[in-house]
């Protein structure tokens, strides 16, 4: 069945995704938006799990290959999508695909301070990632230096507690 014609045209070529380091709790936002907009999710963590379960280890090359195959399939079929991953390290490749298929994209960027992020990590039981925060911050700053203009909404320490409502409000005005 060709679903292209079942989708409202205003939704059909939309991609929502995130920018920040690992373990920033993007999945709860992706699920919240999925429920509110009835959009499917392509989740990189689930794909990594699938690869590990099939091979008994993570083959990063296979992960990237399968991820981009699945993303290309979604885009070529005009499906709207939430990419539940951080695009910081892959944005140039993802952006090229989105532009190739004429998709409108919305990047939600988590611009959190080191202190705030450390507290979140400890509260969630991810204290083993705290030593990597400086590297995460550098990687995100590098992304922002190059792609700041592509960011749709920024989540900071001050508004983090209301992130779901803020993001939903912004997106409702656009899609």
Query: Mind listing the domains of the chain with CATH numbers?
Result: 3-172 (3.40.50.300)
Residue 5's pLDDT band, with cuts at 50, 70 and 90, is: very low
Residue 3 has pLDDT above 70, yes or no: no
**Residue 138 — φ and ψ, nearest 5°?**
-65, -45
pLDDT score for 86: 87
Kindly write down the DSSP assignment for every residue of 98-167, as one continuous string.
HHHTT-EEEEEEE---HHHHHHHHHHTT-GGGGGGHHHHHHHHHHHHHHHGGGEEEEE-GGGGGGHHHHH
61-108 pLDDT, tens digit per residue, is: 998 899 899 999 988 988 899 998 889 888 999 999 999 999 999 999
Please check the confidence at residue 35 and state whether its pLDDT lies above 80.
yes
Q: Please tell me the predicted confidence (pLDDT) of residue 8.
A: 54
């Amino acid at each position: 069945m060709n679903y292209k014609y079942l989708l409202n045209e205003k939704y059909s070529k939309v991609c929502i995704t995130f920018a920040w380091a690992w373990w920033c709790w993007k999945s709860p936002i992706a699920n919240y938006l999925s429920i509110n907009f009835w959009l499917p999710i392509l989740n990189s963590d689930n794909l990594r799990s699938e690869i590990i379960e099939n091979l008994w280890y993570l083959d990063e090359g296979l992960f990237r290959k399968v991820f981009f195959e699945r993303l290309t399939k979604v885009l070529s079929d005009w499906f709207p999508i939430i990419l539940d991953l951080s695009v910081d390290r892959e944005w140039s490749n993802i952006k090229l695909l989105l532009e190739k298929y004429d998709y409108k994209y919305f990047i939600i960027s988590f611009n959190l301070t080191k202190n705030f992020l450390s507290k979140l990590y400890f509260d969630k039981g991810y204290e083993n990632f705290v030593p990597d925060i400086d590297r995460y911050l550098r990687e995100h700053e590098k992304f922002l230096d190059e792609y700041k203009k592509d960011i749709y909404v920024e989540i900071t320490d001050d508004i983090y507690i209301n992130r779901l409502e803020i993001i939903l409000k912004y997106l409702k005005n656009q899609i």
